[in-house]
Structure 1
Amino acid sequence: MAPIGRGTGMKHDVIIIGGSYSGMAAALQLLRARRSVLIIDGGKRRNRSASHSHGFLGQDGVDPAELARVAREQLHAYPTLTWLDGEVEQATGAMDDFQVACGSTPHSARRLLLAIGVSDRLPGIPGLAERWGRSIFHCPYCHGYELDQGRIGVIATGSISIHQAQLLPEWGNTTFFLNGTFELDETAAEELTRRGVTVETTRIERIDGDADVVLADGRRMSFAGLFTAPQNEPSTPIAAQLGCELAETPMGLQISTGETRGTTVPGVFACGDAAKVPHSVSLAVGDGAWAGAQIHRSLVWPGA
């Protein structure tokens, strides 16, 4: 890929790639320090299918789209913000001289923050993707309470799903669908039994209705909601393109960061779902706020 040409506009203190919850939380800290910030956002929030967000103190039950709208409106009150709707195609450069291309226009900054979120690789079960975020979830703290202690199904994606199945009986009678992904060892089976989890070994054919699991043998099992643990990866290749190290985790690939949220590339930071687990709106906001403060410190004390 050819190098990005230099733009004629101003050099920002920070370009934030991704304008969802963690990116906006980081921006708020930087804007309040009167730093110039450019947010470039593609408008694809991970929770865009969900109608309510839970577990976020002071905003419990609010539509996540409304959370994002209000946050963006508040950021625009700060004069050093520039917001650009679009997809970042390329990022190059080094500390104090990064270039980012969005469409035909290059932008430059002293620091980059990757708040790019993740893509979910869901189980390939017919009917699952259409219900993701509506009746099929990944976070019990975000969605478990609203199931009103109804029957819950957990669809395995790998051995990490054992922990999800062990956790969910707090929210309702739980059935764990192995769906041919792996075989339980004796220790895991005993722990699931201790937690009152029913293990189902028959493969899933499809998901119907709101949260009805249809098995290969024709049985239909109805649930108040279903959970699964998708594999994740950063939603764009920008981190790898910049040379940032990626780490394999039980949940998939994430951007490697240190305590200050700095990546392995000096001057490039990362926060939110793409850089840590577990995932929720409240955790993303907290991580973004921390990242924004640390980026400001790096601008004040570059060698620290």
Structure 2
Amino acid sequence: MQDVIVIGGSYAGMAAALQLVRARRKVLVIDAGQRRNRFARHSHGFLGQDGIDPARIWAGARQQLLTYPSMRWVEGTASGIAGQRDEFRVILDSGEAFSGRRILLATGVTDQLPDIAGIAGITERWGRTVFHCPYCHGYELDQGRIGVIATGPMSVHQAQLLPEWGEVTFLTNRAVTLDAEQCDDLRKRGVTIEETPVARITGGADVELRDGRVLPFAGLFTATRTEPTSPLAEATGCQLAETPMGRQLMTSDTKETSLPGIFACGDAARAPHSVSLAVGDGAWAGAQLHRSLVWPE
């Protein structure tokens, strides 16, 4: 019997596990090996790790965790959760099963990219020249030309913010209709509005429009819609909420979901998203999980 079974071994899940093993609790991490930022060569904005390959950050953190004797790591995909608080059972695709008193869902999210040819090509533009977070990737564009490809209302916010990092063209791509006030605001910020639909992405980050013009950019941003990577939470009965960025798990201030004894943290349970925010959320979740074990209600 584990004290806590953490489903998802990326930054949030590991941050939570660290708090728990340092409290000498028995922790099992089940990891399917699908970090959200696996496409990016460098991670930025994470204090002490700025510019480091995210795979190195993950590997170093995992190595540190495994030095704790109460820590166990299993590679696999969780397919089911049964039982109740203090008597949970997690089943893997392989058929293997584990018992735990508490569950922490740190399964992350999947980005739903706009349906545009080439946006995830050349292995892979996504995370290399096409991004969603300017705080993570804007500085490296060196104040060059930036394209914002609209996907919905959140894209207007992106286009308003990104002039801090370069010369911006807002490609509405028939995904958003701007009113007069929005147009005036964008133009005051120096944003060029381009209403011709996008045909495809070519080169590093060049946009070919349907009228044949090609607009070169240093980088592209788009507001993706996110969904929990695993269907496990919804299948178990945890409540989800709609946000401007997509669906996420509903949690209390203590990171507990709608089901007693099942907690959630990281991108799947909060917005906005970044490595720093995921680590902080995971650390808080780990402390709250420990408190639930010390003072069970």
TM-score, with length taken from structure 1: 0.95
Secondary structure at 1:66 match in 2: helix
Structure 2 Cα separation of the partners of residues 119 and 52 of structure 1? 19
AA at the equivalent of 1:90:
G
Unaligned runs of 5+ in 1: 1-10
| TM-aligned CA deviation for residue 182 of structure 1 | 2.1
- Other-structure match for 1:74: 64
- Other-structure match for 1:246: 240
For residues 60-88 of structure 1, give each alpha carbon's deviation from its aligned partner in whole angstroms, at most 9, with x where no partner exists: 00000000000000000000011000111
Unaligned runs of 5+ in 2: none
| TM-aligned CA deviation for residue 187 of structure 1 | 1.8
Secondary structure at 1:65 match in 2: helix
For residues 236-282 of structure 1, give each alpha carbon's deviation from its aligned partner in whole angstroms, at most 9, with x where no partner exists: 11111121110000111000011111111110100000001111001
- Other-structure match for 2:33: 43
Structure 2 Cα separation of the partners of residues 15 and 120 of structure 1? 25
Structure 1 Cα separation of the partners of residues 296 and 170 of structure 2? 50
Asked if residue 210 in structure 1 is aligned to residue 210 in structure 2, the reply is no
Structure 1 Cα separation of the partners of residues 76 and 137 of structure 2? 31
Asked if residue 65 in structure 1 is aligned to residue 59 in structure 2, the reply is no
- Other-structure match for 1:120: 111
Structure 2 Cα separation of the partners of residues 190 and 260 of structure 1? 42
Aligned residues: 293
Q: Select 1:154's aligned residue among 148, 152, 165.
A: 148
Structure 1 Cα separation of the partners of residues 86 and 231 of structure 2? 22
Moved over 4 A (4+): none
AA at the equivalent of 1:50:
A
Secondary structure at 2:248 match in 1: strand
Q: Give matches, 1:98-247, under 5 Å.
A: 98-102=88-92, 103-130=94-121, 131-247=125-241
Identity rate, percent: 63
Structure 1 Cα separation of the partners of residues 274 and 264 of structure 2? 16
- Other-structure match for 1:4: none
TM-score, with length taken from structure 2: 0.98
Structure 2 Cα separation of the partners of residues 106 and 100 of structure 1? 6
Q: Considering only aligned residues, what root-mean-square deviation do their CA atoms show, in Å?
A: 0.6
Structure 1 Cα separation of the partners of residues 181 and 88 of structure 2? 51
| TM-aligned CA deviation for residue 91 of structure 1 | 1.0
Structure 2 Cα separation of the partners of residues 192 and 261 of structure 1? 38
For residues 3-28 of structure 1, give each alpha carbon's deviation from its aligned partner in whole angstroms, at most 9, with x where no partner exists: xxxxxxxx100000000000000000
